[in-house]
Chain A
Amino acid sequence: MKVNENVIHRCVADEDMLVPVGEAAGEMNGLYVLTPTGGEIWDMLAEGKDVEDIVSIMSEDYGEDPAVIRADVAAIIEKLKALGLIIED
């Protein structure tokens, strides 16, 4: 699993957004807005971290039960996959 290389993460005015470019722009609708934590997850995926890495880092950062974080991370990854923003290797 990896981020779609034709999608660019922008952060402007503290708003996280994903901008598809190239052929991806033809298949997706213009621009997607992420929550700040969604933006953090995206960046970690872009760095090549796997889900367990992300869960470990975020549960430490937010002081939250890993099981809760894992469920939230899985949910956003599913959404990003459904939109074609994340693709399988």
Chain B
Amino acid sequence: MDMNEKMKTPRGIEPLWNQYIHAKASARGIPLSGNFELTPRCNFNCRMCYVHQTVRAEEEWTAREWLELGRVARDAGMVFLLLTGGEPLIRKDFREIYSGLKRLGLLISINTNASLIDPDWVAFFKKDPPLRMNISLYGASDETYRALCGQGSFHTVAANIRMLREAGIQVRLNASVTPINAKDVPEIYRFARENDLVVKGTAYMFPPSRINGGAYGEAACRFTAEEAAAHTLLCREQYMDPEQIRDMVPTEPHDPTEDCTDGQGERMSCRAGKTNFWVTWDGRMLPCGMFPTDGYDLKHMSFAEAWEATRRDTAAILLPAACRECALRAQCPLCAAACLSETGRTDIRPEYVCRMTHELAEAIRKKYPLKEDCYEGE
């Protein structure tokens, strides 16, 4: 098997088994997947970030505290762990934390902007590789990086991604699309194709409600709902064919006024608070990192107590009743965290998200109309 062929092989985890073990863990209340937000510090200053804050390193949990939390969570059933930030590699003790957590028998992924990677980091990860590195790609030029992230690092990041790939490290790209880097979308996807990588682009930016003092729905660096819809379509056009794009929306135009219902909203359908948990840089457990809630402080309660409380809270969450019967529900990024970030409540329909989803469906219907002759004479 040549290296390129090997790269295409999903590393280790069989998707069906992954679903199976998460379903089983969910039924038993096992915290199978954790996220450790090791730091809010970052060498970038991205304008849409929901975590980045300037704190002194001493204010963060120590390596010893993270390793102890890892041990306790492992004993409770954690198998999958994402190390994130901020920029996790900015921590001087990252290697100590990473290697210690790996020795616990965890499958670790890392979120990084990849700008700090150098040959020494690559050698380190080659020796004891993560399951995957999720790398945020913020544009396709140094200029765009400078405008969005405050540092013109594209060429450095691109070289580092290639270096990691050559070392056999699994990489996935994430692209947050904002008004500042929107023009780079085709180039971002081209970079991914050229490097045989998958990129997940998203034009919906959560309001950074965790760090903006509870100003729900306010986001300094995002599109209007209509522009977000247009750029979501633009992202899809980079890797989907017209039929696939068209098949993602119901055939009939949808009247949003028909969505009103007096019934109860649906419950959360994601893994947050069922098998997944997030621990913030200052040691608070949340169901997921996008929740702008206080969570449970692990300095004042045990992991088991915090997990039980998180499970209990998320099981009680109801999403907006108005969204339950919506014909576009399957296409909508609505979730409890989005509702909270947009409105401060889980049961109020976030107008921005609703408008974006309906605009997207309409834009797809207009640009990719059904071919009537497909249904005649055959």
Which residues on A are within 8 Å of B, measured CB to CB?
8-10, 12-15, 17, 19, 21-23, 25-26, 28-31, 33
Contacts and interface: CB of A to CB of B under 8 A. Distances in A.
B257 to A, nearest CB: 45
Contact of A21 (B24, B25, B102, B168): B102
B12 interface: yes
A13 B102 contact: no
Given A19-B105, A30-B12, A31-B107, A12 B128 contact: no
What 3 pairs across the A-B complex have the smallest Cβ distances?
A: A30-B12, A8-B105, A13-B24
Give the residue among B17, B79, B104, B168 with the most A Cβ atoms within 10 A: B79
Contact of A12 (B9, B21, B103, B126): B21
A74 to B, nearest CB: 26
Give the residue among B9, B12, B24, B28 with the most A Cβ atoms within 10 A: B12
B11 interface: yes
B129 interface: yes
Contact of A25 (B21, B79, B128): B128
Interface of B: 9, 11-13, 17, 21, 24-25, 28, 30, 32, 77, 79, 102-107, 126-129, 131, 168
Give the residue among B9, B21, B105 with the most A Cβ atoms within 10 A: B105
A84 to B, nearest CB: 14
A12 B25 contact: yes
Contacts of B11: 29-30
A35 B40 CA distance: 41
B227 to A, nearest CB: 39
Contact of A23 (B17, B32, B127): B127
Contacts of A12: 21, 25, 30, 32, 77, 79
A59 to B, nearest CB: 30
A29 B77 contact: no
A30 to B, nearest CB: 2
Nearest to B32: A12
A26 B168 contact: yes
B82 to A, nearest CB: 15
Contact of B128 (A9, A26, A28): A26
Contacts of A21: 102-103, 105, 128
Contacts of B79: 10, 12, 17, 19, 31
A57 to B, nearest CB: 25
A19 B107 contact: yes
A83 B187 CA distance: 40
B24 A15 contact: yes
A31 B12 contact: yes
A64 B128 CA distance: 42
Nearest to B18: A31
28 contacts: A10-B79, A12-B25, A12-B77, A12-B79, A13-B25, A13-B30, A13-B32, A14-B24, A15-B24, A17-B79, A19-B79, A19-B105, A21-B102, A21-B105, A22-B102, A22-B127, A23-B127, A25-B128, A25-B129, A26-B126, A26-B127, A26-B128, A26-B129, A29-B9, A29-B12, A30-B13, A31-B79, A33-B17
